[in-house]
Structure 1
């Protein structure tokens, strides 16, 4: 009996139930794959390198050792260069010291020569004064002109800056020149002091060992006081030859003496005057002698 070929039985596979969140595929993908594929690959590669490569601690130690070697190399090279340059620096220093010594010796020789020439000029001036007038007159002329050193009774006047003196400023109460009072002694103050001593009867005056003459100039350069272009350093010691007691009294009672007293009272400038039995003043370092002749008018024919 022919029949139809028998078919293998068909097994039915159970169908997988649909996920309730199937409609939210984008959100589901984000939740299932929170780490990006690229980041995942990089993390895997890093992990593989770490497992197959050198440990991190060993790498750090090797890096630190390499840094120490490099630092030691730099220090060694610097020391070698310094060692090479040291003889050159020492030689230049010795040459500089030799030059300073040579120039100092030359300056000392010039100073000795100037002193010798100054003494010769003073001797010739005294001889000329002796021939011109002779006797006491030539001595008096030499004293008054500053050509010769003098000593005798007189006064010592010390003028110094105030204790809290400072530099700079505006609006000096002592003048209308636009400078401020800073407690410093000014050139105009010393001008008044010297002129007051001359007016009070001084026969010879010096400031800090510099002899003043009729041609001397007291000027200022900043806060410094210059006498004949030579700077002075406070305190300023003024020596004056004359009748000590009388000279002191006259000066302190003069307008210039009262001016100095006002500086002391109002601005803190320190002053002290004393009568001395013997003060010594040097001759002027350079004395310019000028002569004059009368002009005769010629008559017209």
Structure 2
């Protein structure tokens, strides 16, 4: 009894060899692909993840760069604005400094003018003080010594009017300041008689009378003896026996008149002589 040949047995040998050969190749390829397939998919997935992450980072970096760019632009604009503002402030300060320098120069000029005017006022004040008697003075001049006769009676003694003649003669001769027995003859003072005593600036003085006068020695003595007041005094001296002597002095010091004499006692308003109701002419 023979068995029927199977399909394998009926297949031609060449075809069988070819099919088996192909099957084995497929199996070998399949066996090679089988274990590597998951790894390839995992690798591709990792690459995709890396690429996505990189893209995300690039996107974030781009967005951040854009944001930083906006911030930088704002900061730059703010900085430029501040620079321009400070530049304007500096220009204003420089202009103000230039104006202050100009004002300072003008103020210095005015100060010099005021200093010159102040010096002139001081000089005028010193001159007026010397002439009025309310400023102590020092300089060369003459000394006159007057005294009564040793045998003179009370009616033959030097009187206040005689001293007035001598002082007037000194003024006429160019004297700048006069003092009698240490009492400065002032514009508001007086040489007067109180009973039998003579007073200068309301202070009593007694003989001998020493009269100091500051002025030019070269002309003061010569002009004195030629003045009308001096001639009247010399006539009285010869009549009543007064003694008098004049000598030059190189360094005389005359005190100021008492400050109480500077007090204003009365004043009158000067009106317009035209009678038009206006102020002083």
Q: TM-score, normalised by structure 2?
A: 0.51
- Superposed CA deviations along residues 24-69 of structure 1, whole A, max 9, x for unmatched, are xxxxxxxxxxxxxxxxxxxxxxxxxxxxxxxxxxxxxxxxxxxxxx
The two structures, once aligned, show a CA RMSD in angstroms of: 2.3
Does the 8 A contact of 1:152 with 1:278 survive in 2?
A: yes
Q: What is the alpha-carbon distance in structure 1 between the residues aligned to residue 201 and residue 126 of structure 2? A: 24
1:195 correspondence with 2:168: yes
* Separation in 1, partners of 2:171, 2:177: 8
- Write the distance in 1 (CA, Å) between the matches of 2:118 and 2:211: 33
Which residue of 1 is the match for residue 251 of structure 2? 278
1:161 to 130, 148, 151: 148
The two structures have a TM-score, normalised by structure 1, of 0.48
Residue 298 (1) aligns with residue 271 (2): no
Secondary structure of the residue aligned to 1:273 is strand
Q: Which runs of 5+ in 1 are unaligned?
A: 1-129, 168-181
Considering fraction of residues, name the structure with more helix: 2
Question: Quick one: distance in 1 between partners of 2:218 and 2:156?
Answer: 29
Query: Contact conserved, 1:132 with 1:138, CA < 8 A, in 2?
Result: no
Cα distance in 1 for residues equivalent to 2:153 and 2:270: 52
In the TM superposition, what is the alpha-carbon distance from 1:269 to its structure 2 partner?
0.5
Q: Deviations over 1:58-111 (max 9, x none)?
A: xxxxxxxxxxxxxxxxxxxxxxxxxxxxxxxxxxxxxxxxxxxxxxxxxxxxxx
1:245·1:275 contact (CA, 8 Å) conserved in 2? no
- SS of the equivalent of 1:134 reads helix
Q: 1:221 aligns with which of 174, 194, 203?
A: 194
Q: Which runs of 4+ in 1 moved over 3 A?
A: 130-133, 289-299
Are the aligned partners of 2:160 and 2:192 in contact in 1 as well (CA < 8 Å)?
yes
Q: How does 1:111-260 map to 2 (within 5 A)?
A: 131=118, 133-167=120-154, 182-260=155-233
Taking the aligned partners of 2:196 and 2:256, their CA distance within structure 1 comes to: 27
Matched residues in 2 for 1:293 and 1:133: separation? 28
Question: Matched residue of 2:237: which SS?
Answer: helix
Q: How many residues align?
A: 156
Q: Tell me what 1:288 maps to.
A: 262
CA distance in 2, matches of 1:155, 1:244: 7
Separation in 1, partners of 2:150, 2:218:
29
Larger Rg: 1 or 2?
2
Measured in 1, the distance between the counterparts of 2:173 and 2:196 equals 28
Gapped regions of structure 2 (runs ≥ 5)? 1-116
Structure 1 residues 244-253 or 135-144, which shifts more?
A: 135-144
Shift of 1:263: 2.5
User: 1:220/1:148 Cα in 2 relative to 1: closer, same or farther (>3 Å)?
Assistant: same
Deviations 1:140-185 (A, max 9, x none): 1121122211010111011111111222xxxxxxxxxxxxxx3300
Distance 2:145 2:234 in 1: 13
